[in-house]
A and B are shown apart, each in its own frame.
Chain A
Amino acid sequence: MSERIFTAAIWAAALLVVGVFCFLLGDLVRQGAPHLSWRFLLTAPADAGRSGGISSIIISTLLILAVAMAVAVPSGLGAALWLAEYARGKRAARRVIRLSLDVLAGVPSIVFGLFGNAFFCIFLGLGFSILSGGLTLACMVLPILIRTSEAGLSAVTEEWRRGAAALGMTRAAALWHILLPAAAPAITAGLILGMGRAIAETAALLFTSGYVDRMPDSLYDSGRSLSVHVYDLSMNVAGGDVAAHASALVLVSLIVVLNGGALVLSDRWATRKITVS
């Protein structure tokens, strides 16, 4: 008897979770989808976002993302390279760097916002700008990028490295022609994961890239990201709910596409690893 009750409780809990989430997503689609159109995506916001579209918001979001990735990817890859390939004899250094990255990954996003405001906006004099916001996000996603890239590089079998060395290839050449291509799916999956994290972020952008919803002229202009737009419309603009739902739907769709891509790539990576070894 108690066996049956337990089974029922487990199924009920699982169904409850799925039910609530269907409610959430269904509500978002129901409220947002009717407002969604090419016009909404392609026109600038008007009347504090109540009418018009989100074209300038989308451009700002993409620019912030581009800045974040342009900085975080090369530096993350460089750091991962050292951790996976060059730090073999240096266990202590490797441990310290890993630990500090883990700690950094745990710092709340609003604290990154404080740091970005103090360091990029004021100390470096970049002001409220797309550049400040992007750089702040770069700091935030760096730990994820390094961790996934390092895992991808470490998963390449040792024989390939030895084979390359036996052929007289330099380490740089082996890296470029063998290790990086082999680790590419993992690195790409990590990159997409980082982009998903960055595009979902709001708190770190509030006081680094700012609120201005005009079309940005340059990276030194303030730009409002999609997530900040959703927040502002729902909290500070009376009657902005419909546009907020439509913008949130665009944001979630972007993230679903990114996450799906990461999933496919990491699946392919897993199968490839099995066939190689």
Chain B
Amino acid sequence: MSGLSADRRLALLSALFATGAALLLLLVLGFLVSESWPVLNAGGWRAFLADGVWYPLEGRFGLLSMVWATLATAVGALLLAAPLGVAGAIFQCFYAPPAVAKLYRSVLALLAGIPSVVYGLWGLTVLVPLIARWAPPGASLIAAILILALMALPTVTLTSATALGAVPRSLLQGAAALGMTRRGIILGVAVPAARDGMLAGLLLAALRALGETMAVLMVAGNVVRNPTDLFEPVRVLTANIALEMAYATGAHRAGLFASGLLLTVMVLLLAWLAARAGDRQRDV
């Protein structure tokens, strides 16, 4: 009988932890909303998008140019990382000898774990001076795009390689039996079959790029303006929070929490899309 009660206790305790873990999300979102409520309530959503400028000390919270900068860095990074990352995955799955493929995979796994400040440090001390030689000031949209692309590469390659690896062998052998060339098999059969899994990986990388703070903060120059020129500095949403939280009070602080809320909504939307793409892959 006492054994039974120990079981009950364990079940209850673990259920408690599971519920707590689920409630944590509500807690996070709840605090974001309640902290940004003063600004949301006063100006409404429109103030963030309609007001053209970010002068938080005067109560003007125009986030739009920072939203554009965030999107520009993420999209630019993805445009670079997607072809290179997919090519890397094809290399790993179809071209590299087994030992090389294993090495390549572990190098990428290592790179995926390198902290973003280290990427930022490299960007700041190597990449930015390099760009500055061509087009000063160096700390710019293009620097942010390059660093983010570098950070996204391991994610894209690892997920794409997993998707390519999941393509049934028989499909590839059938294509080979039809006399297709290796290039034809890869581009005509393997990549289309793995398309949805690759897409999910790309969206995951985009999600990381949108939420990335330190590396972008260190190389982008952080001037609030529309991203019209690749070689001019920009400031993204995450960097803005990191820079201004230290001294923000009152409505300014609420504005920063609101921009965090906006960022979270953007990221969750993408995550939802990624999950749907992943589900489609599994159904095939």
Question: In chain A between 175 and 224, which residues have their CB closer than 8 angstroms to a CB of chain B?
Answer: 175, 196, 199-203, 206-207
Q: Which residue of B lies closest to A199 (CB)?
A: B115
Nearest CB of B to A49, in Å: 14
Measured between alpha carbons, how far is A244 from B104 in the docked complex, in Å?
Answer: 28
Chain B residues, CB < 8 A from A17:
84, 88, 153, 157
> Of A78, A112, A114, A203, which is in contact with the most chain B CB atoms at under 10 Å from its CB?
A114
Task: Decide yes or no whether B110 CB sits under 8 A from chain A.
Answer: yes
Assuming the contacts A13-B83, A170-B3, asked whether A106 and B207 have C-beta atoms less than 8 A apart, the reply is yes
Chain B residues, CB < 8 A from A3:
181-183
Task: Decide yes or no whether A148 CB sits under 8 A from chain B.
Answer: no
Contact B115 A78 (CB under 8 A): no
Task: Decide yes or no whether B10 CB sits under 8 A from chain A.
Answer: yes
Contact B111 A231 (CB under 8 A): no
Report the count of interface residues on A (CB-CB < 8 A).
85
Task: Decide yes or no whether A276 CB sits under 8 A from chain B.
Answer: no
Measured between alpha carbons, how far is A10 from B3 in the docked complex, in Å?
Answer: 61
Chain A residues, CB < 8 A from B260:
110-111, 114
Contact B213 A203 (CB under 8 A): yes
Contact of B242 among A13, A119, A206, A244 (CB under 8 A): A206
Task: Decide yes or no whether A81 CB sits under 8 A from chain B.
Answer: yes
Task: Decide yes or no whether A265 CB sits under 8 A from chain B.
Answer: no
Assuming the contacts A3-B181, A170-B7, asked whether A118 and B31 have C-beta atoms less than 8 A apart, the reply is yes
Nearest CB of B to A25, in Å: 8
Contact B246 A142 (CB under 8 A): no
Task: Decide yes or no whether A109 CB sits under 8 A from chain B.
Answer: yes
Question: In chain A between 1 and 22, which residues have their CB closer than 8 angstroms to a CB of chain B?
Answer: 2-3, 6-7, 9-11, 13-14, 16-18, 20-21
Q: Which residue of A lies closest to B275 (CB)?
A: A102
Chain A residues, CB < 8 A from B176:
none
Task: Decide yes or no whether A48 CB sits under 8 A from chain B.
Answer: no
Task: Decide yes or no whether B17 CB sits under 8 A from chain A.
Answer: yes
Query: Chain A contact residues: over half helix, strand or loop, or mixed?
Result: helix
Contact A206 B275 (CB under 8 A): no
Contact A20 B117 (CB under 8 A): no
Question: In chain A between 220 and 277, which residues have their CB closer than 8 angstroms to a CB of chain B?
Answer: 227, 230-231, 234-235, 241, 244-245, 248, 251-252, 255-256, 258-259, 263
Task: Decide yes or no whether B106 CB sits under 8 A from chain A.
Answer: yes
Measured between alpha carbons, how far is A230 from B125 in the docked complex, in Å?
Answer: 12
Contact A27 B6 (CB under 8 A): no
Task: Decide yes or no whether A87 CB sits under 8 A from chain B.
Answer: yes
Chain B residues, CB < 8 A from A24:
119, 122, 126, 150
Task: Decide yes or no whether B224 CB sits under 8 A from chain A.
Answer: no
Contact A107 B96 (CB under 8 A): no
Measured between alpha carbons, how far is A143 from B22 in the docked complex, in Å?
Answer: 10
Chain B residues, CB < 8 A from A146:
21
Task: Decide yes or no whether B120 CB sits under 8 A from chain A.
Answer: yes
Task: Decide yes or no whether A83 CB sits under 8 A from chain B.
Answer: yes
Contact B117 A230 (CB under 8 A): yes
By a beta-carbon cutoff of 8 Å, the part of chain B in contact with chain A is: 3-4, 6-7, 10-11, 13-22, 24-28, 31-32, 35, 83-84, 87-88, 90-92, 94-96, 104, 106-107, 109-111, 113-122, 124-126, 150, 153, 157, 181-183, 207, 210-214, 217-218, 238, 241-242, 245-246, 256-257, 260, 263-264, 267-268, 271, 275
Extra 7 A-B pairs, beta carbons < 8 Å, given A14-B91, A81-B10: A27-B126, A76-B17, A78-B13, A100-B24, A104-B28, A119-B27, A252-B114
Q: Can you list 29 A-B pairs, Cβ within 8 angstroms, ordered by A?
A: A3-B183, A7-B182, A10-B87, A10-B94, A17-B88, A18-B104, A28-B118, A76-B17, A78-B14, A79-B18, A86-B11, A101-B22, A107-B211, A107-B267, A110-B213, A110-B260, A110-B263, A112-B28, A114-B35, A118-B257, A171-B11, A202-B213, A207-B245, A207-B246, A227-B115, A231-B117, A231-B214, A235-B218, A256-B113
Return the 5 tightest CB-CB contacts between A and B, nearest first.
Answer: A108-B211, A78-B17, A13-B87, A200-B115, A82-B14
